[in-house]
Amino acid sequence: MSSNELVESAAREENEREGTEGSPDRRTLLVAGIALLGCFGLAGYGFLGTDEQPKPRTAATVEVTYEVTGTGTVEISYLARGGTGTATVEKGVTLPWTKSVQTPLGKAPAVAIVLDEKGGQASCTLAIRDKHVQRATAMGAFGRATCTGGAQARQE
């Protein structure tokens, strides 16, 4: 190879190096692309989630016993607080009536009674852990009474 050819070859190599020095090489682009795809994958997984549902926390409960005694026919509303937290209503109940339910600690259980138009006399009682908490009496046509557990439903 002549000296001219060597100079021209060296000049070509120099020009090629100058043209590629400012641009990233293919390996760097590939690594950056894979990292970017990984980030999108993790973000998508977090956004879409999984089919598994979180396990519900099990709340500590206490046994509550509602009891209604007396004469006449009544409508009874009581809170069990197990599912929706709404009152359960039983209509046209012939007395005596008793119901034991589990309620979460710290929630105030309650039972309410309403006599029908024929009247009579009925008493509601409420016991938490077999311990009497409250008693109330309803008398006469459409007489009403309510028993609640208040703060006594808390863990002792």
Residue 12, pLDDT > 70, answer: no
Helix (H) / strand (E) containing 77: strand 73-79
Question: Rounded distance, CA 39 to CA 105, Å?
Answer: 44
**pLDDT given for residue 28 in this prediction:** 82
Between the two ends of the chain, the Cα-to-Cα distance in Å is: 101
- DSSP conformational letter for 152: G
SS3 label, residue 107: coil
| pLDDT tens per residue, range 61-100 | 888 999 999 988 999 999 876 555 578 899 999 999 999 9
Whether omega for the bond prior to residue 96 falls within 30 degrees of 0, making it cis, is yes
pTM to 2 decimals? 0.58
| pLDDT tens per residue, range 87-140 | 889 999 999 999 998 887 777 889 999 999 999 999 999 999 899 999 999 999
